[in-house]
């Protein structure tokens, strides 16, 4: 039995944050019913065509769900939504600000009718405050949260290469829903969860915020290097390949000098004998390290780092990750069905294959509409009438 087997989730979701949240609930066995707009559906379906004609974002965030198409501006469709909510455990939405209030599907409207329902609203800035109605996309939240001010290089800010603000909000939606289900088991009551992308990202800003507290200088933009620990980042080897390495303490610094760059006198050099001094003199130390690596291949550098117990990594590209030996050795890949055939999928982190996490198909738009309506008690003629008037 999967942990959330028997839990029913109804969702108005699009793009990444809410779909990522509910996909993880589906991974744990929850039944997730995704309500989409007839004809077009979740707009993330059309971001690209990289997965055998399907969108990469959509395939990633929508496995193991059922898709029903409803035009909720029509009374018949809104009636279907309430029938779905009647025995639902969780309602998740990330529609435009104010949309659920206009439909009478906000928490204040639902809590008395469905007292056990957990309602999770995911938005850019939260349901109140001066930014409540401001549009929010992942890159904009990366900027608003200060993330861009500490990433990239000093002359060129850089966004995260994945949808980090959406992912953060989706994770907080997911964990808060799990906590609310536990709480409901004790109290018998549902709960309102208000997840803000901005707050999720600011939480993840972690040490940079405290590092710059009371008006102190913020961490510098250091590219792929660590802003406040050094050496910690990418270094070029003699064969033109890049090695990533990281030191955490003075014991490792001594080992690095002795066994890796083989200049033991540097471990006590006053320019470099503490982390703050190495950070201050990082340009000079970078020159010394690159010169030491110039006669070595990346593989030889990594061999020395391993022998010295210094943390290191290769700078993999996406093709390298698909073929990663560690993921294959741990049997972390499986497949899921899609409307375009089977595609590979990573097992959810924390789950073993023996746990049988749910890895069901990515649904076609409206694939489950008729089946869900029959389940709710609509006969064939009623379904056809709704289709004729455009309610589904």
Catalytic residue ranges: 226
The structure tokens listed for 28 are: 């744990």
The structure tokens listed for 149 are: 């001010």
Tell whether the torsion through CA atoms of 165, 168, 174 and 176 is positive or negative.
negative
Three-state SS letters, 268-285: HCCCCCCHHHHHHCHHHH
Q: How far apart are CA 173 and CA 66, in angstroms?
A: 20
Cβ count within 10 A of residue 128: 8
Contacts of 83 (CB under 8 A, 6+ apart): 376, 377
Q: How far apart are CA 66 and CA 371, in angstroms?
A: 10
- At residue 200, φ and ψ (nearest 5 deg) are -65, -45
Q: What's the longest Cα–Cα distance across the chain?
A: 86
Q: How far apart are CA 47 and CA 375, in angstroms?
A: 32
- Strand-pair category, 90-93 with 8-12: parallel
Tell whether the torsion through CA atoms of 282, 287, 293 and 298 is positive or negative.
positive
The structure tokens listed for 212 are: 């710059």
Q: Would you report the helix, strand and coil content of the chain in percent, each value rounded to 5?
A: 45, 15, 40
The helices-and-strands tally (H runs, E runs) of the chain is 17, 13
Q: How far apart are CA 105 and CA 295, in angstroms?
A: 66
The answer to whether 205 and 144 have CB atoms below 8 angstroms apart is no
Q: Mutual orientation of helices 164-187 and 197-204 as an angle, nearest 10°?
A: 100
């Amino acid at each position: 039995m999967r942990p959330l087997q028997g839990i029913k989730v109804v969702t108005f979701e699009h793009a990444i944050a809410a779909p990522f949240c509910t996909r993880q609930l589906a991974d744990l066995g929850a039944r997730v019913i995704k309500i989409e707009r007839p004809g077009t559906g979740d707009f993330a379906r059309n971001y690209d065509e990289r997965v055998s004609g399907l969108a990469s974002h959509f395939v990633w965030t929508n496995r193991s769900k059922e898709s029903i198409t409803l035009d909720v501006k029509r009374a018949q469709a809104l009636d279907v939504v309430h029938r779905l909510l009647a025995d639902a455990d969780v309602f998740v939405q990330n529609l435009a600000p104010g949309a659920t209030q206009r439909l009478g599907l906000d928490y204040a409207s639902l809590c008395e009718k469905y007292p056990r329902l957990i309602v999770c609203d995911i938005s850019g800035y939260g349901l109140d405050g001066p930014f409540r109605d401001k549009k929010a996309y992942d890159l904009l939240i990366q900027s608003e949260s200060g993330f861009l001010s500490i990433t990239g290089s000093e002359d060129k800010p850089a966004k995260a290469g994945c949808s980090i603000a959406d992912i953060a909000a989706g994770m907080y939606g997911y964990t808060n829903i799990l906590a609310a289900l536990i709480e409901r088991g004790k109290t018998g009551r549902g709960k309102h969860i208000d997840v803000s992308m901005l707050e999720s990202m600011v939480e993840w800003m972690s040490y940079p915020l405290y590092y710059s507290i009371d008006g102190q200088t913020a961490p510098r933009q250091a590219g792929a290097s660590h802003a406040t620990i050094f050496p910690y980042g990418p270094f070029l080897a003699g064969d033109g390949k890049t090695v990533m390495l990281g030191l955490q303490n003075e014991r490792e610094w001594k080992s690095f000098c002795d066994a890796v760059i083989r200049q033991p006198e540097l471990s006590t050099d006053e320019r470099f004998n503490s982390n703050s001094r190495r950070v201050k003199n990082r340009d000079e130390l970078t020159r010394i390290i690159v010169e030491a690596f110039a006669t070595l291949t990346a593989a030889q550098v990594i061999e020395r780092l391993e022998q010295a117990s210094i943390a290191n990594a290769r700078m993999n590209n996406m093709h390298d990750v698909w073929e990663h030996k560690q993921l294959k050795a741990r049997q972390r890949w499986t497949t899921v069905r899609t409307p375009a055939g089977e595609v590979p999928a990573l097992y959810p982190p924390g789950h073993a294959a023996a746990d049988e996490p749910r890895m069901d198909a990515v649904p076609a738009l409206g694939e489950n509409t008729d089946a869900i309506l029959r389940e709710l008690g609509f006969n064939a003629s009623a379904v056809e009438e709704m289709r004729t008037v455009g309610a589904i």
